[in-house]
Structure 1
Amino acid sequence: MFTCKGAIDFYQQRFPDAPEQLWQLVPNGYDEKMFEGATTTQCKNSGEIRLLHAGTIYPIERDPTLLFQALANLKNQGQIRKEQFKVILRATSHDHQYAPMLEQLKITDLVTLEPAIPYKEALNEMLEVEALLLLQAANCNFQVPAKAYEYIRAQKPILALTDEAGDTADVIKQSQMAIIAPLDDVAKIELAIVSLIEKIRTDKLTVLPMAEIERFSRDKQAQRLAVIIDDVIGMQEK
């Protein structure tokens, strides 16, 4: 049983003689109960755009170095200003590494490093900001971070810096509100940021209806798991 299609493909290549029923996909998902009582706010067409990354930013698997460089370039070109655009990095677990980088690039007015907050408060923050940031390097193509499903549930525009060929990109595209660029390409990150800002300000992103978002919930995945377990029990009883 696997949580990502890429992992299934990888192991099918290594074990081509394994029976087809061995390869079962049960993705991760979001917990709807944690969103109870929270309300998604509408994206702004003007004013400040806040781009939030919630959670750990691993120095290798989610290396933000080129994102920081892209922000510095756009600031120096006059394409983004602190009054209009802010990046919030919440609970990176590596602030001591990233703070000097922000200082050196002179973008502390654009990027803030914020402390951890309780989980439900973090979900509420996702619903309050104008856009969400996802980082996932190509060496994690067979993985999808849990926050990807929470981001989809939040119904907000997503800047996904990840490999187009990876499972994370496959999942996040289904939000219909994602702009994707490689984590390791400064020029493409710059274009993606500019595109994100333009789409938010001109309201060119369509929110996925909750009826479609529900298929990403853990309740739906639990139902899928129950079917698989029933099938296994049925085979054993024969």
Structure 2
Amino acid sequence: MNKRVLLIAFHFPPQAASSGIQRTLSFSRYLGGFAWEPLVLSAHPRAYSQQNPSQLASIPEDIVVRRAFALDAKHHLGYKGRYLALTALPDRWTSWALGAIPAGLSLIRRYKPEVIWSTFPISTAHLIGLVLHRITGLPWVADFRDPMMQPSYPVIPMQRRMYRWIERQAVMRCTTAVFTTHGAMEDYRRRFPDVSPAKFRVIENGYDEDIFDAQPAAPAGAGDASRRLTLLHSGVLYQDGRDPAPFLQALAHLKEAGKATPDTLRVVLRAPGDLDGTRACVAAAGVADLVEVAAPVTYREAVSEMLAADGLMVFQGTPFNAQIPAKLYEYFRARKPIIGLLDPAGETARVLGKAGCNDIAHIDSPDAIAAALERFLTCIAKGRAKVASEEVIRSASRRNRARELALVLDAAAQGARQA
């Protein structure tokens, strides 16, 4: 193997606050199967507010990982959570560039990669990719896990201007801009009409087959209407875009009507972020006997819980219409029925529909949620609930996503050689 790619990613084990580590981690694990040897340039663990050392075992032993100097402005340069805005431009980890640029140049001199790849949502990663691209002339693939410029973010004007500058530099100078959803890609094509549409590509998120292989799924829908069903949402909830309150109100309506009782239904909200706040919301809705608010667990434990559930829930409101939660692909692989509480006009609704999962209700409508939830539970109990097709499941594996990235890298390297 003589083709190498430099992967620049802030989110990498042992970082534990973002599921984004799985995208870079999976590429680092599977690209070798497609004739690309990855080199990883990440941040020193001190910059991570949350760590999970057990994730380190998932990193392939034979790849080079360089962790450059980095600080978190909030924790290392601030006082009682307050810090100067200038120390957090474009983000709180801008100091990472001070260590990563020389470290990246050292890796490039020693290992001679053919392509640079960097991934947002930490904008400093694209800044590092831009500088290394400009210095070395290597082709650059800019990966956007989320769109950079959004209507409500960044809020601070100076930060917003810097984001806009980095975003434009990335789009104009990269060889290929990669997005995780078709909606995000089309939005960038509209915003940059002078850029060739061929420059924009989609590589969706996915699931890790190795994790699921160790824990085979039970058949979906047991067909026993008398047993208690378990519904699971695994991941962060918050008021703007993933507000659980309308769902809890809908659940309260079903409880009042005698259609949901502690003997027939258990709902688990796993790792919602603000545990106390979510529990208070559950109590206010009067459904504490139906809903368990649970603390985070390891990735493997989270997958095991998905496989044990009777149905899975996804929350994704209008502010995130151009995005798809990464866990949705894990839901597909779990081969469990899925109910989507979301904006029907968003990307998540489109992907669910394409997969044949049509149990959808608007996230802001308790009445619509109650009706959809009642139908969903009935179908599960009777063994009639739909799950993702085998074709969708196969295409969504992270190994397949790595194959898609390898094709992008091949084209970038070939274009550079012919230039």
**Is the TM-score greater than 0.5?**
yes
Q: Comparing both chains, which one has the higher relative contact order based on Cα–Cα distances under 8 Å and sequence gaps of 6 or more?
A: 1
Match 2:202 to one of 25, 34, 41: 25
Q: Does 1:137 align with 2:314?
A: no
Taking the aligned partners of 2:282 and 2:245, their CA distance within structure 1 comes to: 9
Match 1:85 to one of 247, 265, 269: 265
Give TM-score scaled by structure 2 length.
0.55
Report how far residue 96 of structure 1 moved.
Answer: 1.2
Taking the aligned partners of 1:230 and 1:193, their CA distance within structure 2 comes to: 46
Report how far residue 211 of structure 1 moved.
Answer: 5.0
Match of 1:40 in 2: 217
Deviates further, 208-217 or 115-124: 208-217
Report how far residue 12 of structure 1 moved.
Answer: 1.0
Q: Deviations over 1:194-235 (max 9, x none)?
A: 110111122223444545411001111111111111112222
Match 2:381 to one of 201, 214, 220: 201
SS in 2 for 1:156: coil
* Paired residues of 2:203 and 2:405 also in contact (CA < 8 A): yes
Match of 2:185 in 1: 8
Question: What amino acid maps onto 2:266 in structure 1?
Answer: K
Deviates further, 90-99 or 181-190: 90-99
* Paired residues of 1:6 and 1:167 also in contact (CA < 8 A): yes
* Paired residues of 1:156 and 1:177 also in contact (CA < 8 A): no
Superposition pairs for residues 84-163 of structure 1, below 5 Å?
Answer: 84-163=264-343
Report how far residue 118 of structure 1 moved.
Answer: 1.5
SS in 1 for 2:232: strand
Taking the aligned partners of 1:115 and 1:161, their CA distance within structure 2 comes to: 22
Distance verdict in 2 for CA 1:181–1:9, change over 3 Å: same
Q: Deviations over 1:15-51 (max 9, x none)?
A: 1121122111111111111212101112232211100
- Where does structure 2 lack aligned partners over 5 or more consecutive residues? 1-177
Structure with the greater alpha carbon radius of gyration: 2
Match 1:215 to one of 395, 398, 407: 395
SS in 1 for 2:187: helix
* Paired residues of 1:51 and 1:133 also in contact (CA < 8 A): yes
Distance verdict in 2 for CA 1:9–1:209, change over 3 Å: closer
Deviates further, 37-46 or 127-136: 37-46
Distance verdict in 2 for CA 1:154–1:175, change over 3 Å: farther
* Paired residues of 2:206 and 2:397 also in contact (CA < 8 A): yes
SS in 2 for 1:24: strand
Give TM-score scaled by structure 1 length.
0.94
Match of 1:164 in 2: 344
* Paired residues of 1:34 and 1:120 also in contact (CA < 8 A): yes
Report how far residue 172 of structure 1 moved.
Answer: 2.3
* Paired residues of 2:282 and 2:291 also in contact (CA < 8 A): yes
Taking the aligned partners of 1:98 and 1:230, their CA distance within structure 2 comes to: 46
Identity rate, percent: 33
* Paired residues of 1:152 and 1:172 also in contact (CA < 8 A): no
* Paired residues of 1:157 and 1:178 also in contact (CA < 8 A): no
Report how far residue 183 of structure 1 moved.
Answer: 0.6
Q: Deviations over 1:151-196 (max 9, x none)?
A: 0010000111011111111222233244111111111101110110
- Where does structure 1 lack aligned partners over 5 or more consecutive residues? none
Distance verdict in 2 for CA 1:71–1:207, change over 3 Å: closer
| Count of aligned pairs between the two proteins | 238
